[in-house]
Chains A and B, each alone.
Chain A
Amino acid sequence: MSYVIGIDKGTTTTKAAVFDARDGRVLATARRATKRFRPNPD
């Protein structure tokens, strides 16, 4: 049995998901807020 992990680094949240290679089913996910830097906001 094989599993693959993908990481999606979004603007707001960075998500990681473990997929079952047989059918793409999500087996587990984890997410953390993406830290953003904006030195000169409006």
Chain B
Amino acid sequence: MTVLGTSCLNSLVMDRPERAPEGLGFLFAMPLDRYVRILPNTSGAISFDWFLDRFGAPLTPQGSPDFAALEAKAKAVPRGAGGAVFIPYVNGAGVLAPFYDPLARGSFFGVGSHTSYDHLLRAVYEALCFATRDCFAAMSVQPTSLVLTGGGGKSAFWAQMFADVCGLPIEIAAAEESGALGVALLAGVAAGIWPDIETAAAATARVAARYEPDPVAAADYDGWFELYRQTRDVYRRYSQQRAALKPAEVAA
């Protein structure tokens, strides 16, 4: 399950406590000998919001970002965003997974004179899918399907992109506030409202939509994902050097 909120929590339910990759992320013990392994990509929707905030977005009449219009822009750009690769490490806390580096920061790689706002926007959409695949790829147990929830799970376009990039069926949880629902189910089982987690989940959790990976798109994205991984490894090397150079004060 991936919760695409401000942070992006990539979670895997397991029947044994697999700790790989050692020292990263979280491992929670659950009732009934289940474990939840979480590799949080600290830069989830925060990267998307940053981009819209800094570079502008089409707005609804109410003045909030028009996500339908944004999707239409990103959709019009082919896979690979015209060669632009975004490394989404904009969170000031750095990166917690699939490697630990509080000094890591983001970047756009591969821009040219042809690169437009729409290309960069598409690159941001793609980057969050790459970052999720990156986290799951680091785990020792691989998921066979992925439930996507959080603000990012409301977009069919993005959900299909997650399916294509991760090569996994993506399920969209019907539940509103699924994070709160999850802990409510644990509390309800503990309080005796339901006999076990399975019963609790069966009564309350439904899948609203399912997206299958498209083999052609998935093959394309394999190449872009490999480039993403190599690019983030290259930029990682410069985290310390960048941080050591005290940034100039910005005039108010």
Q: A24-B175, A41-B92 given as contacts; is B5 within 8 A of A6 (CB)?
A: no
**Interface residues on chain B, size class:** 20 to 34
Q: In the bound complex, how far is the Cα of B170 from the Cα of A21, in angstroms?
A: 26
Task: Specify which chain A residues have a CB less than 8 angstroms from the CB of B176 in the assembled complex.
Answer: 17, 26, 29
Flag whether A22 is at the interface (Cβ < 8 A): yes
Q: In the bound complex, how far is the Cα of B191 from the Cα of A5, in angstroms?
A: 12
Within 8 A of B (CB), among A1-42: 2, 4-8, 10-12, 15-17, 19, 21-24, 26, 29, 38, 41-42
Q: Is the CB of A24 within 8 A of B5?
A: no
Flag whether B143 is at the interface (Cβ < 8 A): no
Q: Is the CB of B204 within 8 A of A8?
A: no
Within 8 A of A (CB), among B166-193: 175-177, 179-185, 187-188, 191, 193
Q: Is the CB of B5 within 8 A of A19?
A: no
Q: In the bound complex, how far is the Cα of B188 from the Cα of A4, in angstroms?
A: 6
Task: Specify which chain B residues have a CB less than 8 angstroms from the CB of A11 in the assembled complex.
Answer: 5-7, 46
* A31: nearest chain-B partner, CB-CB: B177
Flag whether B194 is at the interface (Cβ < 8 A): yes
Cβ of A32 to closest chain B Cβ, rounded Å: 13
Report A's interface with B, CB cutoff 8 A.
2, 4-8, 10-12, 15-17, 19, 21-24, 26, 29, 38, 41-42
20 further A-B pairs in the complex, CB-CB below 8 A; given A5-B187, A11-B5, A11-B46: A2-B193, A4-B184, A4-B187, A4-B191, A5-B180, A6-B184, A6-B187, A10-B5, A10-B179, A11-B6, A12-B5, A15-B177, A21-B194, A23-B203, A24-B203, A24-B204, A24-B205, A29-B177, A29-B180, A42-B247
CB-based closest 3 A-B pairs: A24-B204, A6-B184, A6-B180
Report B's interface with A, CB cutoff 8 A.
5-7, 46, 92, 105, 175-177, 179-185, 187-188, 191, 193-194, 203-206, 247
Q: List 15 A-B contacts (CB under 8 A).
A: A4-B191, A6-B179, A6-B184, A10-B6, A12-B5, A12-B6, A15-B179, A17-B180, A19-B180, A22-B203, A23-B203, A24-B203, A29-B176, A41-B92, A42-B105
